[in-house]
Structure 1
Amino acid sequence: MMILKDILYKVTINAVVGSTSITVNKIEFDSRKIQTNDVFVAIAGTVTDGHKYIDNVIEAGATAIICEKLPDLLKDGVAYIEVANSNQALAYMAANFYEHPSANLKLVGVTGTNGKTTVSSLLYQLFKKAGYKVGLLSTVKIMVDDTTYKATHTTPDSLVINKYLKQMNDEGVEFCFMEVSSHGIHQCRTEGLRFAGGIFTNLSHDHLDYHETFAEYRDVKKRFFDQLPKDAFALSNMDDKNGLVMFQNTQAKKYTYALKNYADYRAQILENEFSGLLLKVNDSELWTRLIGSFNAYNILAIYGSAELLGLEKDEILRLISELENVSGRFQYFISDEKITAIVDYAHTPDALKNVLETINNIRTKNEALITVIGCGGDRDKTKRPKMAHIASALSTKAIFTSDNPRSEVPETIIEDMEKGVEPQNFKKTLSITNRKQAIKTACQMAEAKDIILIAGKGHETYQEIKGERFDFDDYKTVQEFLKQLQK
């Protein structure tokens, strides 16, 4: 229970009708969850507009309404607060309601197109191994020290973020690592939080169904760094042309990492095998079980962040060598028939290219590389032909299949993909709508020492078709089929 005016601190208010001295129970933006004495924040979302439900929530017991436009009919005994931006208001209110939990730990945000999950998850792993109590807010899961909770979004809503951060405070968590998506930044979910640091991984083609242009997508990412406080650090990838853009208006202390350019944290790849990477980081050598140049960048981001957060260099090197792969990120096994199966979340053109180039740099070319790839429905259609072009050009065989078709017809998505295949690669492609059948076919085609890459879904254990989620796990599926072939 809190006084309404106390949870409105820092909110940009245009008008107030009624008293802000009332006691409120909790904050909600989902009209279905409203109970007596709750505050309802009306948000105009992409699917529905919360302003439509103001009468319903008052009937359900809401005593305060936060909205961008006051209703025509105002009811007695209800406080109406007109705000400039409901998403931003929700973020500040959530932070106030949960007593600013981000200020009581060191919160580090990781943003970029690719690598967010790997960097944040491995930083969680590293600091746990160093003996700290640690939190994680990621696409794969939410961790409050040793307790796991299910994640539903890359960046959860403001109420969920602050609820878990408060729980971390209660359990003595010292560090928290958080994926920060462009959607989350655009919808102000990270406002009202105090970050100790921000990491920029890279920027490439993604989410142009949501952000109208690449420039807008880039500038939304940049906004996260613009909001960092003076005592925070900003760590950016100098090999990405947008690395310096992130620094333009930040007050945070600036640090850089790179493989190709001069930077504060620089690495050279000495060995790159399926067993791992041997890197020279600044003046020290380190071995990691992670694979590929894209993971060399992730390791640099982890190394730099850990040092900026106060860990000793020698300890960081030792801990990095102990890190284990993140679920669905270049997760692989070798069958008894000596077939290598790799499952990776690569669902953008750049990520797919990185994974395929990594495999091609390691393999001897005497073995086949069979790629199973799909594209999500109701998402950025412009990347579909690009994904298919990359898969067909860099693989021995490419099988196009369903990812999460959502409300779209899977065959239509595959047709969009096929448009990107160049004539010389037509014979290398195959289209199988059913994902399970596509994986089975790849396993049947593979011979000893061949490599199967199943890309696009990674850690996801479901397929979303026509509004329903069905159990589906790429890693388990390919394991089962390869075991069957051994019999």
Structure 2
Amino acid sequence: MSNQWQPHAAELAEGLSLIELSDGLGHLDLGDSEDVMVMGVCDDSRHAMPGYAMLCLPRSEGKATQFAESAKEQGAIAIISVGVSVDTDLPHLHLESIAEAGLLLRRMFKTEQASTHFYGITGTDGKTSVAWMLREALARYQSAPIWSSGTLGWMRSSNNICDIGNTTPSLLTMHAMLNAACQEGVHAVVSEISSHGIAQGRIAGLNFKTAIWTNMGHDHLQDHGGYEPYLATKAGFISDCAAHGGSVVANADHADIRERAPESTNWYGHGLDRDDVNLGWEQELPGLLRLSCAGEEVVIEDIPIGDFHAENVACVALTLMVSMGIELQALPELLTGITAPPGRMQDVAAGYGQVFIDYAHTPEALERCLKAARKLVRNRLIVVFGCGGERDREKRPQMGGIAAEFADAVWITSDNPRGELPAVIASEIEAGMAQPYRVELHLQLDREQAIAEAVEVLAEGDILVIAGKGHEAYMEVCGRRMPWSDAEVAERYLHRKHPGSGFDGERLCA
């Protein structure tokens, strides 16, 4: 699969009768046709091809007829609508629910009996890191390729990644990925499951054999109508997995998760001497993790920096024990030296150890990131961060307060302002900082200039954390995504500050 693959259409291995495909599902209107052979399926009319069926999903309401006509012009021979009205003279299968669409796609791709182990990871933070680490650990254990999907894309290996547009891609893409995994004999697929993906039914028809709930915090609340609906959305995914016989692994240190997770949940939590968890964890030193289960202990060495990564590794450890039956004593071999994904407490200038970029863009993630950095700092902790525009506004003052509490110097700057004024976002961040300010505060809306200024003042023993964007390779302003890399900018100014050091300043964020 090339990195140019577009997740909007999929060709079927062989033509399938629309009558047979629709058996027992929805209402089929063939019009003047006796039957048609479906050769492929698309969910974007621009990717329709001769012989394809066009899938009109609920979000196309009001434009479904227009999309159907466009697909017909491209050669589509049938329309499959899901909960939306479509006026078309093509053979038309109408499905009432997204659940029916999921069943139809399983039938189309012939994956009803798929043996691929689907892991689903939900939570406000930690999804990408847990997915990365679990894929790496399973690949070590299986000595075979393991796939993952999420914020970083559809990953067949760390060197073979293609963009899928969203953390949890479209329903069609999810089913096409399962089909591809089955065709290539991939044992497991690890998928990040976002709240949007759950709410919009992008995982309908997929049977997750293991569901993981990492944590709960504030993000995307504006899209769900508040925290409670957001929490309920994630809880619904976890409960559905358990109801269908899947195993559940969850973080015991979040009261809301404790309250909403099913009784059969397997728990991990901070602390070694606990009787309310299946696996306890403790980090005595950076890079070292101690795990405890049923009175036994093991030590995992050389893990990524940060308590939050220690917690992520503990989550992976329990998942391996639950899903694969791996014994506690076998975990050090599988987890020692495990890596973290790009942009998660990433040392952008190896050898300096002074500048880290992190994807932290929620209050909870920023606090954990700065606490991790505080354990490493010998002098001042400096942070450069902002908040995204047209997103949860409640978190802005919270993140300002956290930065003021844990850092010594703060640069408030821009971070994907989208259609909002960066100055307004910055003022809402600053509003959460108690006055008189304990920290040295700077307002610099030009993100490159903010990073440059922070790098310039770095002294021996200081640590700089550039938070919010992590691996992201763009800055989104007024509907446009412009090329951007926190790592590249930081490296450029470090190179200017330390010329002739042997650091070439050319390495980009992977």
TM-score of the superposed pair, with normalisation by structure 1 = 0.90
Alignment partner, residue 454 of structure 2: 442
For residues 446-474 of structure 1, give each alpha carbon's deviation from its aligned partner in whole angstroms, at most 9, with x where no partner exists: 11110100001111122122222222111
Alignment partner, residue 330 of structure 2: 315
Q: 1:6: how far off?
A: 4.0
Distance 2:112 2:229 in 1: 30
Q: 1:10: how far off?
A: 7.1
Alignment partner, residue 354 of structure 2: 340
Q: Which has the larger displacement, 409-418 or 130-139?
A: 409-418
Distance 1:284 1:481 in 2: 42
Q: 1:398: how far off?
A: 1.1
Distance 1:270 1:393 in 2: 23
Alignment partner, residue 428 of structure 1: 440
Distance 1:129 1:15 in 2: 47
Distance 1:20 1:343 in 2: 60
- The alignment partner of 2:54 has SS state of strand
Q: 1:25 to 1:202 in 2, by over 3 A?
A: same
Aligned counterpart for 2:407 among listed residues 395, 399, 414: 395
Alignment partner, residue 197 of structure 1: 210
Is residue 22 from structure 1 mapped to residue 36 from structure 2 by the alignment?
yes
Gaps of 5+ in 1: none
Q: 1:41: how far off?
A: 2.2
Whether the 8 Å contact between 2:132 and 2:340 is mirrored in structure 1 is: no
Alignment partner, residue 10 of structure 2: none
Is residue 354 from structure 1 mapped to residue 368 from structure 2 by the alignment?
yes
For residues 135-193 of structure 1, give each alpha carbon's deviation from its aligned partner in whole angstroms, at most 9, with x where no partner exists: 11121132225733234211111221222222222222112211111111111111111
For residues 177-229 of structure 1, give each alpha carbon's deviation from its aligned partner in whole angstroms, at most 9, with x where no partner exists: 11111111111111111212111101111111211021111111112122225
Distance 2:445 2:426 in 1: 8
Q: 1:430 to 1:55 in 2, by over 3 A?
A: same
Alignment partner, residue 139 of structure 2: 128
Q: 1:17: how far off?
A: 6.0
Letter in 2 for 1:254: T
Is residue 224 from structure 1 mapped to residue 237 from structure 2 by the alignment?
yes
Q: 1:458 to 1:10 in 2, by over 3 A?
A: farther
Aligned counterpart for 2:93 among listed residues 81, 92, 98: 81
- The alignment partner of 2:481 has SS state of strand
Whether the 8 Å contact between 2:348 and 2:357 is mirrored in structure 1 is: no
Q: How is 1:265-344 mapped onto 2 (pairs within 5 angstroms)? A: 265-273=278-286, 276-282=287-293, 283-308=297-322, 309-332=324-347, 340-344=354-358
Distance 1:80 1:101 in 2: 23
Distance 2:70 2:348 in 1: 53
- The alignment partner of 1:449 has SS state of coil
Q: 1:408: how far off?
A: 2.6
Distance 2:418 2:347 in 1: 27
Q: 1:416: how far off?
A: 2.6
Distance 2:85 2:186 in 1: 41
Q: 1:89: how far off?
A: 4.3
Is residue 95 from structure 1 mapped to residue 106 from structure 2 by the alignment?
yes
Distance 1:147 1:28 in 2: 24
Q: 1:305 to 1:449 in 2, by over 3 A?
A: same
Distance 2:213 2:185 in 1: 27
Q: 1:344: how far off?
A: 0.6
Whether the 8 Å contact between 2:210 and 2:248 is mirrored in structure 1 is: yes
Q: 1:333 to 1:35 in 2, by over 3 A?
A: closer
Q: 1:81 to 1:166 in 2, by over 3 A?
A: closer
Q: 1:270 to 1:391 in 2, by over 3 A?
A: closer
Whether the 8 Å contact between 2:288 and 2:299 is mirrored in structure 1 is: no
- The alignment partner of 1:381 has SS state of coil
Whether the 8 Å contact between 1:335 and 1:483 is mirrored in structure 2 is: no
Letter in 2 for 1:157: S
Aligned counterpart for 1:236 among listed residues 221, 238, 250: 250
Alignment partner, residue 267 of structure 2: 256
Whether the 8 Å contact between 1:138 and 1:155 is mirrored in structure 2 is: yes
Distance 2:443 2:22 in 1: 54
Whether the 8 Å contact between 1:70 and 1:80 is mirrored in structure 2 is: no
> Aligned residue pairs: how many?
474
Q: 1:54 to 1:169 in 2, by over 3 A?
A: closer
Letter in 1 for 2:67: Y
Alignment partner, residue 492 of structure 2: 480
Distance 1:33 1:46 in 2: 15
Distance 2:246 2:228 in 1: 25
Q: 1:57 to 1:223 in 2, by over 3 A?
A: same
Letter in 2 for 1:443: V
Aligned counterpart for 2:194 among listed residues 156, 159, 181: 181
For residues 24-67 of structure 1, give each alpha carbon's deviation from its aligned partner in whole angstroms, at most 9, with x where no partner exists: 22222212222333222223439984344333333433332233
- The alignment partner of 1:447 has SS state of coil
Letter in 1 for 2:269: A
- The alignment partner of 1:393 has SS state of helix
Q: 1:482: how far off?
A: 1.2
- The alignment partner of 2:267 has SS state of strand
Distance 1:20 1:329 in 2: 56
Letter in 2 for 1:485: K
Distance 1:20 1:266 in 2: 59
Alignment partner, residue 418 of structure 1: 430
Letter in 2 for 1:370: I
Q: 1:335: how far off?
A: 6.6
Letter in 2 for 1:92: L
Distance 2:432 2:487 in 1: 27
Aligned counterpart for 1:372 among listed residues 384, 392, 414: 384
Letter in 1 for 2:126: G
CA RMSD, 1 decimal: 2.6
Q: 1:93: how far off?
A: 3.0
Gaps of 5+ in 2: 1-14, 500-510
Identity of aligned residues (%): 27
For residues 269-297 of structure 1, give each alpha carbon's deviation from its aligned partner in whole angstroms, at most 9, with x where no partner exists: 25233xx1332333222224222322222
Alignment partner, residue 66 of structure 1: 80
Q: 1:60 to 1:359 in 2, by over 3 A?
A: same
